[in-house]
Structure 1
């Protein structure tokens, strides 16, 4: 647990330190927030701005001046997150001025690579910042409205628009033409520092799939949370939710990667016009980890997770938490409307079946199922599938264990393939056959054996071909 840290907060393009006021109030005694105006914005609007390294220098100087005596963290929203990543790299490279950095909070963060923004929109944003006052105000209003999932309060909206209008045009353009396009991937590499990554499900450019593809691979210890219904300006839109997530992060920083990554080509497909809006929204929502309710006991959840590791192994860090998702499904009572008639209701069947597995493990090996090696786990699962697992008090009969294990395998695959990372892992491109224009659906045009559409090649070359 991190005790009474200082949280240095960096705002989005056009924002200011004022963006963090509500969140700071809600964090209260859990962290002291020090919000910083980046060069060219807020009270630092007399500065012409600079590249990512120059902004990191500016923040590092402020941190030195503040002189935190204990652990401290950096929180960045959008543009501020890229600066936070640069500071974290300096810290891990041994910069003594940044000693004490204990974590990152990246909210709808700009990734280490160039931002995935349409060039036409970038040019338009660069153009209107120098326009007449009436045009600037109209475009600033539209900019703020387009970056939130739901309208801000009138006070927050007005204050945020005013921040955009007082931004230094040179700094605005320096970010859009320079900083946002800087490629820090090699310099950032993989950071060891724990990080909380939050994305808004309604964020067009830097939403869940962009974070999973472009930011998470650079973080060895991360937790990724999807905020449903939220857009890009998370500290303004969801101060209560963000404060709660930060409190949880301070109490228990992740020790490993806790969320799957996405290949960039597959993330780009999700965000493309080949995927209709309804499907894209569903895919983004499926990236969100269920937060309950749950119904399995702690022991049963651990047994289920160990079982799923053998039923459907996942390579690498950041695995889909199948056990958590299945537990939430059981608690909801939802299902596909089918089960073996001999089995009890799903939640009861799972609890009893997992109890049988654990009891058999303890009887045969003197340890819980979750503590066994792969060979011993496989032996018990093979016995369950064949109806040879010994019956235990409160468990399922051997023949019912066979039925349950068949159901489990099907549910594991369904749950895996419901997640975009599961679809990416098998190279499934079928999500790209639709679109929002019913009269001009993209579809597939090449139907020959092993024929690839040109738009499929970047995906299949990276993750393999499911066909």
Structure 2
């Protein structure tokens, strides 16, 4: 995939930093962090918030692969700032994409920040199956308004409901999902052969990424386990782990001030 992805820019000067969201997310999920890094005058950092393929306003794919996701992001970074390098931040699905990109396109990445995900196979998308079913089950042809969609959407957690419904858009009188739900549903149906939950074997043939890596974990999240450290350092020898106590998987929304501070220190080293 070489199509340029949809992006949102925040900041007008300073080091370049790009953000990749997780499954069902969008680049603007990082907007609060980006605005804090850019600062009031916009010169603290030049932030690029990217919609991954099959998400937000970016093109859809017919078959999922981390390699093609990473290539699409790399093409977008090169088109945005030819010849420049980036600090690359990725959470969950975006974290895996960022890791694969650093391995496939090391010339693009100065610093890598991986948020609450490990370079391993997580088995299946079973934990997301309920969300996919809820979204596919919403009768879009009957929806009259966003309030109507919220009332019909069967999700008890208000934060999760708002996060998932950000994918719902209206064109004229027609409602549609921006996320490629059919692709995600097909991947989830594979079970333990899920590509989205997995980790691409192709990167084992690539040399390790020799740049600095900050590996941020949520202290209350199960996504990173002690035994994952050896695998992480096999691909990324200069990894430094940072655990944010009291935070779950969505670290950047649960502990934004700590996240901003950590990224400011990374950017200071990058400059």
TM-score (norm 1): 0.44
Gap change, CA 1:76 and 1:161, over 3 Å in 2:
same
SS at match of 1:103: strand
Aligned partner of 1:231 in structure 2 is 248
Confirm or deny that 1:18 pairs with 2:21. no
Contact persistence 2:209–2:237 (CA under 8 A): yes
Contact persistence 2:210–2:238 (CA under 8 A): yes
Aligned partner of 2:200 in structure 1 is 183
- Write out per-residue CA displacement over residues 72-110 of structure 1, whole angstroms, 9 at most, x where no aligned residue: 121111001111111111224xxxxxx34211111112x
Aligned partner of 1:434 in structure 2 is none
SS at match of 2:247: coil
Kindly state the Cα deviation for residue 171 of structure 1 after the two structures are TM-superposed: 3.8
Contact persistence 1:200–1:231 (CA under 8 A): yes
The correspondence for 1:60, drawn from 69, 74, 82, is 74
Kindly state the Cα deviation for residue 44 of structure 1 after the two structures are TM-superposed: 2.2
- Write out per-residue CA displacement over residues 398-434 of structure 1, whole angstroms, 9 at most, x where no aligned residue: xxxxxxxxxxxxxxxxxxxxxxxxxxxxxxxxxxxxx
Aligned partner of 1:222 in structure 2 is 239
Larger RCO (CA under 8 A, 6+ residues apart): 2
Deviates more, 1:214-223 or 1:242-251: 214-223
Gap change, CA 1:142 and 1:187, over 3 Å in 2:
farther
Report which of the two structures shows the higher radius of gyration computed on alpha carbons: 1
Aligned partner of 2:184 in structure 1 is 172
Contact persistence 2:134–2:153 (CA under 8 A): no
Aligned partner of 1:245 in structure 2 is 262
Contact persistence 1:5–1:71 (CA under 8 A): no
Name the one with the larger strand percent: 2
Aligned partner of 1:192 in structure 2 is 210
The correspondence for 1:113, drawn from 112, 120, 130, is 120
- Tell me how many residue pairs correspond in the alignment: 229
Distance 2:243 2:152 in 1: 32
Confirm or deny that 1:88 pairs with 2:102. yes
Unaligned runs of 5+ in 2: 1-12, 140-148, 169-176, 189-193
SS at match of 1:12: coil
Gap change, CA 1:100 and 1:79, over 3 Å in 2:
closer
SS at match of 1:215: helix
Name the one with the larger helix percent: 1
- Write out per-residue CA displacement over residues 22-51 of structure 1, whole angstroms, 9 at most, x where no aligned residue: 000111234211011011111226555621
SS at match of 1:34: strand
Aligned partner of 2:138 in structure 1 is 132
TM-score (norm 2): 0.72
Kindly state the Cα deviation for residue 126 of structure 1 after the two structures are TM-superposed: 4.9
- Write out per-residue CA displacement over residues 352-410 of structure 1, whole angstroms, 9 at most, x where no aligned residue: xxxxxxxxxxxxxxxxxxxxxxxxxxxxxxxxxxxxxxxxxxxxxxxxxxxxxxxxxxx
SS at match of 1:212: helix
Contact persistence 1:191–1:220 (CA under 8 A): yes
Distance 1:124 1:189 in 2: 38
Confirm or deny that 1:161 pairs with 2:164. yes
Aligned partner of 1:27 in structure 2 is 37
SS at match of 2:240: strand
Gap change, CA 1:182 and 1:70, over 3 Å in 2:
closer
Gap change, CA 1:100 and 1:52, over 3 Å in 2:
closer
Distance 2:152 2:110 in 1: 40
- Write out per-residue CA displacement over residues 233-261 of structure 1, whole angstroms, 9 at most, x where no aligned residue: 122222221111011123347xxxxxxxx
The correspondence for 1:74, drawn from 80, 85, 88, is 88
Aligned partner of 1:6 in structure 2 is 16
Distance 2:153 2:233 in 1: 36
Aligned partner of 1:278 in structure 2 is none
